[in-house]
């Protein structure tokens, strides 16, 4: 398994924090912040893991996850979904769409790192 992560997130502080902790662990981290063009980036970068925010400009993370799961070669791509809400409804929606892992903001750096490592090894 490779070490490439695509982080689809629009909050600059979160982008920098996640990029820092994963880069330090040896991951190649690419970022994208627009929901409208996120699927283009998933297909272009062919990441080993996607970290996906629920609330994005242009298109929700749920819509993107639904499309990832419906796209043949990408269907098994590990996806860690992040949400600021942490509402049960969001978690249930993500799980029904086939999310690999779900995490509520704020989260610890160690939680993100171990989730990405686990998903890459699965």
Which parts of 25-96 fold into alpha helices (H)?
38-45, 61-70, 88-96
Structural domains counted in the chain: 1
| pLDDT band, residue 81 (cuts 50/70/90) | very high
Whose structure tokens read 């929606």?
A: 93
- Rounded mean pLDDT of the chain? 94
The encoded tokens of residue 74 equal 């990408």
| pLDDT tens track for 20-67 | 999 999 999 999 999 999 999 999 999 999 999 999 999 999 999 999
Nearest to 49 by CA among 84, 99, 90: 99
Q: Which helix (H) or strand (E) holds 110?
A: helix 109-121
List the domain range (segments joined by +) for residue 116.
4-121
Average pLDDT rounded to a whole number, residues 100-113: 94
* Alpha-carbon distances, residue 49 vs 99, 105, 119 (angstroms): 12, 19, 7
- In CATH, what number is assigned to the domain containing residue 25? 3.40.50.2300
| pLDDT band, residue 102 (cuts 50/70/90) | very high
């Amino acid at each position: 398994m490779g070490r490439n992560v695509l982080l689809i997130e629009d909050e600059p502080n979160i982008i920098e924090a996640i990029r820092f902790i994963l880069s330090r662990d040896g991951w190649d981290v690419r970022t994208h912040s627009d929901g409208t063009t996120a699927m283009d980036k998933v297909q272009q970068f062919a990441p080993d893991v996607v970290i996906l925010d629920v609330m994005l400009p242009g298109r929700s993370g749920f819509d993107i996850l639904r499309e990832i799961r419906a796209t043949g070669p990408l269907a098994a791509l590990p996806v860690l979904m992040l949400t600021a809400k942490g509402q049960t409804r969001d978690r249930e929606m993500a799980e029904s769409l086939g999310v690999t892992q779900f995490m509520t903001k704020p989260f610890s750096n160690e939680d993100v790192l171990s989730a990405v490592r686990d998903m890459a090894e699965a």
